[in-house]
Amino acid sequence: MTSTSAQSPCVLLVEDDVEQLNFARLALEREGFQVTGVGDAHAAVKQLHAQDFDVVVSDLRLPGMSGVQFLRYVRLYRSDLPFVMLTGMNDVPTAVSSMRDGADEYLLKPVDPVTLRERLRTAIVQRAEKAAAGRQARQAETAGLIGFLRGVHALINSLEMKDQYTRDHSKKVAGVSMTMARELGGLGRKEIREIRVGALLHDVGKIGVPQAILHKNGPLTDAEWDLVKQHPLFGARILQPLAKNHPEVQKIVRHEHERWDGRGYPDGIAGEAIPLGARLIMIADTYDAICSTRPYRKALSKDHALQVMREGSGTQFDPALVPVFERVLAVLPEPRY
């Protein structure tokens, strides 16, 4: 965000030498800049919170908080704000290293006004271009993710429409998982979003399992069961496009059938080596399976589901998450018999 037009950029000038401060202020104002000058970094921090600036010009050697420390603060506060460091000949190595901390430019004092003007305008333009490129990349990533997820959801809907007994299963598992995640507390928005997406996609790998096996009324053969146990791996492969930017979603889908005691599949990992989202979804998935009508039985009660969770605590399920499930059970809908 800029505070003024491109013809009169607003500069925060930080210089403890009064003579140098006044000289630089007048030189910049003659070159068409609006200048707010302060004598130390603490005063500069206050100005940053009180006013918007297009560029910061700071001396390297400042009383109290150094120019480098101030730069690091600015980068935490405004990653897109251009920052030009002024330095004496003896401080050039430090000034050069400040580029790694996010300085756009460093200039030796005394600075020629025309040079300063050009370097400031260049820094403003380059930062603006970088910010625009970043926004475009994020927008492209978001659009790509949305498009990819729409395609996967279409596959899931196609899978579930063929089986009336698992219709809306993924949505229900996502609902229970999210309720538990919020009850657990301490999770950020990104973590909760990844758990939700992982829950919605947890069965996507069943697309690779023949319908005859998925809908078989009788017991599965060993070979058929081995194929069913491959569906987390199929799902992880389908979600490979998410691996770069959302690796946790792929991990959740791969490990949703792992058990706390290490006797699950496909990798046999145990305990906290299993992603938290996968441990939550294991409980939610089991709950929905218990409380849904199946070809071979009617839906069972919430009390029965709780009994199963308690009996499996420490073996199939994370023992720390079973009490969380018990607390949210009251808000979950009653099974449809």
How far apart are the C-alpha atoms of 249 and 255, rounded to whole Å?
Answer: 10
Query: pLDDT at position 337, please?
Result: 56
The predicted-structure confidence for 92-148, as pLDDT tens digits, reads as follows: 677 677 777 788 888 888 777 788 888 888 888 888 888 788 788 777 777 777 777
Average pLDDT of the residues in 234-243 = 85
Mean pLDDT of the chain: 86
Query: pLDDT at position 78, please?
Result: 81
The predicted-structure confidence for 47-79, as pLDDT tens digits, reads as follows: 988 888 999 999 988 998 888 889 888 887 787
Strand partners, 129: none
User: pTM score > 0.85 for this model?
Assistant: no
How far apart are the C-alpha atoms of 164 and 293, rounded to whole Å?
Answer: 10
Q: What domains appear along the chain, each with residue ranges and CATH number?
A: 10-134 (3.40.50.2300), 162-331 (1.10.3210.10)
Work out the percent of the chain whose per-residue pLDDT is above 90.
41
SS3 content of the chain, % helix, strand, coil (to 5): 60, 10, 35
Query: pLDDT at position 5, please?
Result: 42
